[in-house]
A and B are shown apart, each in its own frame.
Chain A
Amino acid sequence: MKQLTLRTGKPGVHNHFKEEPMSKIKGAKAIVQCLVEEGVDTIFGFPGGVILDLYDELMDSPIKNLLVRHEQGAVHAADGYARASGKVGVALLTSGPGATNGVTGIATAYMDSIPMVVLTGQVPRALIGNDAFQEVDIVGITRPCTKHNYLVSNPDDLVPVLREAFYLASSGRPGPVLVDMPKDVMASLVAYPEKTEIKMQTYQPTVEPHPGQVAKACKAMLKAKRPVLYVGGGVILSNSSKELTELAEKTQIPVTMTLMGLGAFPGTNPLSMGMLGMHGSYAANMMVAKSDLLIAVGARFDDRITGRLDTFAQEAEIIHIDIDPTSISKNVKVDIPLVADCKNALLAINAWLDSSAEFDKAAFAEKHKVWIEQVQEWNAKHPLSYQDEGEIIKPQYVIETINRLTGGDAIITTEVGQNQMWTAQFYKFNQPRQLLTSGGLGTMGYGLPAAIGAKIAFPDKTVIDIAGDGSIQMNIQELATAKQYGAAVKVAILNNGYLGMVRQWQELFYDKRYSGTPMEVTPDFVELAKAYGAVGLRARTKSEVEAVIKEALAINDKVVIMDFVIKREECVFPMIPAGRSTTEMLLA
């Protein structure tokens, strides 16, 4: 009798197999077979010495293997692919600098809970720890920014580890998982056991809501006079927009979304007050501040949402639906926690209300009438707006025009800073997975590679990266990747010659001392587009904006860069200065 220990089994419990030697295949081949089995059709990567065996195997596989121009681009592209499609994104990097270049992308995905598997090559086992050429302890480096990571030191662990990696990445609160594979492991013969359902003793996310908590939450809703739904990225990750919309509409509870939650509830629905937080709408922040019941769904009370913690939603009882128990009462004390997958929780709440004799749609509408009117009054008093300044291009106008001309239907990625906030404010996202943006980490350089990833996932959709002149330069090399694979994305650069958001803080809080923010030299983006085989368009006046966007939207076979020369010192408003109460908004 031969004994094997199943990694995924209960520690100490051994499974007994009959003496049948398992057929073994080459490690690199097993990886590809495993990827195909997991439904992977696209990989973004950059090769190097230690992963050549795997690259060689990929050549004969059905998997599309896309060569990026920088490893950060590979991870962001896999991330964009994952956010747009809901599937697990896969990036493939070599050891050493290849792996470290990917770290920013991994941390970006980790902060936003994006399902991703990052495969890295490692030096052969015999060289690990020897400061070998292109050796780095990437498992050590990424430990705090992955959901979990592995160094495969036993060839027969390779396949089970990969399966576990995909399972971890996509279940529970999703996140990036890194698998570091030494060159000799990929070159040696490995076991390829049959795929069985993965059960891990140490990892069992709670996906079903506790019925008692569901009832408590619903009873709180029956009582509340000024309820608010505060919706985050968890609703998008769990594909529960439909259930959320049903709840909001039948209870007539106004909705506000975090940056990550935009699109989870239709932005054009009258119940939507748009985004809350630092650059959220006046109405959204006011209604949270004055609410008596705050229903947080898949959101995590980030500092950009709450402002000063001791004054946040002081009058509200708080219901918090989240799959991650560590999110509950981390920043804000929660009254009714509901640990579950958002979809299951919302289904349960909807079902409870439907079957309750105390719930009546018309009565609810009546109960919330005064509150909704108050919210609408706030919205009418200070709607999202900007000053028109004749022929000077206002960035908000550019976004509004993109919104209008795309019918609110494009996949939009952003970089980070003012471009991101104006997009969040002025593009009305009606569908989930339509806005791809680095919310938690705030990674400049995310938008272009993420747009490429999204375009690869949805070649027929219009994909636009809304960028600043600063952040677009952080991963501009990926224009070549887009060209090589015919990913005809569009880039709209809001060009103000500054690192605009930082400049805004300097204007407001540092006495207009613009230290390190003027971009005195930027490339001519129209000429740059040409150099990359793309189309370059420019608008210098307001009247040129619409024509440029129309022209760009008409081009479907080439990457297009639109350079909008916008007002140099425009600020994003409203703004809650960092650390202040959410009601202390600067409005202009």
Chain B
Amino acid sequence: MKHTLSVLLRNKPGALSRVTGLFSGRGFNIESLCVAETLDPQVSCLTLVTRGNEQIIEQIMKQLHKLIDVIKVSDISEGEYVEREMVLIRMKAEAGTRAEVLRVIDIFRGKVVDVSPTSYTVEITGSESKVRAVIDILRPIGIKEIIRTGTVAMARAPKK
């Protein structure tokens, strides 16, 4: 089962490597990892997507919590949450395909951020599954290169 964990940690040199070292050292996997400063510059927030059964996820969360630099760990995929990933895709843009590329990215509400005589670079944002769908559709048209950010996620605000 896929889980999205949100980890607050002290923004200090080496703190991130404690987290990644924990995953490699204990044989847990990381599907994606995204990290940046929070509103408080002394604290970073890390969004981590991993897979495992209930027992493995419980171990991962407890092991993360045990790290001295970690402030808080939550499995936000347990409740309702929003997730977004951004992908930059450089498409072959030749006479026969230019129009089609534009049509597809329009459907996915993407936009062109760079143009060259032979390529378009497009930006698309969405859930991980939307990003995968875009890639699947664009692939046969001709993808030259893609860069993905990995998922960032946030639990939904309480409704009341």
A interface residues with partner B (beta carbon < 8 Å)? 5, 11-12, 139-140, 143-144, 147-148, 151, 153, 168, 200-203, 324-326, 328-330, 333
Contacts and interface: CB of A to CB of B under 8 A. Distances in A.
A12 B42 contact: yes
26 contacts: A5-B42, A11-B10, A11-B40, A11-B42, A12-B40, A12-B43, A139-B14, A140-B17, A143-B18, A144-B22, A144-B25, A148-B68, A151-B14, A153-B13, A168-B68, A200-B68, A202-B10, A202-B68, A202-B71, A324-B66, A325-B62, A326-B62, A326-B63, A328-B62, A329-B58, A333-B55
Contact of A144 (B10, B21, B42, B71): B21
B66 A202 contact: no
B14 A330 contact: no
B69 interface: yes
B149 interface: no
Nearest to B55: A329
B65 interface: yes
Contacts of B18: 143
Contacts of B21: 143-144
B29 interface: no
Contact of B14 (A11, A143, A200, A202): A143
Contacts of A168: 68
Contacts of A143: 14, 17-18, 21
A202 B66 CA distance: 9
A559 B65 CA distance: 46
Contacts of B43: 11-12
Given A11-B10, A143-B17, A202-B10, A330 B68 contact: no
Given A144-B25, A202-B69, 7 more contacts: A11-B42, A11-B71, A140-B17, A143-B21, A201-B71, A325-B66, A326-B62
Contacts of A200: 68
Contacts of B42: 5, 11-12
B59 A202 contact: no
A333 B54 CA distance: 12
Contacts of B40: 11-12
Contacts of B66: 324-326
Interface string B11-27: 00110011001100100
A202 B70 contact: yes
Contacts of B70: 202
A330 B69 CA distance: 22
B71 A330 contact: no
A201 to B, nearest CB: 7
B59 A330 contact: yes
Interface in B2-60: 10, 13-14, 17-18, 21-22, 25, 40, 42-43, 55, 58-59
Chain B's interface size range is: 20 to 34
Given A12-B40, A12-B43, A203 B68 contact: yes
- The listed residue with most B CB atoms (<10 A of its CB), out of A12, A153, A326, A330, is A326
A549 B66 CA distance: 47
Contacts of A153: 13
A202 B69 CA distance: 7
A326 B71 contact: no
Nearest to A137: B14
A387 B58 CA distance: 48
A200 B40 CA distance: 17
A539 B143 CA distance: 79
A98 to B, nearest CB: 21
A489 B108 CA distance: 76
Nearest to A147: B68
B7 to A, nearest CB: 11
B65 A325 contact: yes
A502 to B, nearest CB: 26
A326 to B, nearest CB: 4
Contacts of B17: 140, 143
Contacts of B14: 139-140, 143, 151
Interface in B67-114: 68-71
A233 to B, nearest CB: 18
A171 to B, nearest CB: 11
Contacts of A139: 14
Contacts of A330: 59
A11 B14 CA distance: 17
B26 to A, nearest CB: 9
A143 B21 CA distance: 8
A236 to B, nearest CB: 21
Contacts of A202: 10, 68-71
A325 B65 CA distance: 9
Contacts of B59: 326, 330
A12 B44 CA distance: 12
Contacts of A329: 55, 58
A26 to B, nearest CB: 25
A203 B9 CA distance: 12
A172 to B, nearest CB: 9
A431 B110 CA distance: 71
A449 to B, nearest CB: 27
Contacts of A5: 42
A11 B70 CA distance: 12
Q: Which 3 A-B pairs have the closest CB atoms?
A: A11-B42, A12-B40, A148-B68
Contacts of B71: 11, 201-202
Nearest to A5: B42
Contacts of A201: 71
B92 to A, nearest CB: 42
A339 B36 CA distance: 33
B57 to A, nearest CB: 12
A143 B26 CA distance: 13
A325 B63 CA distance: 8
Contacts of A328: 62
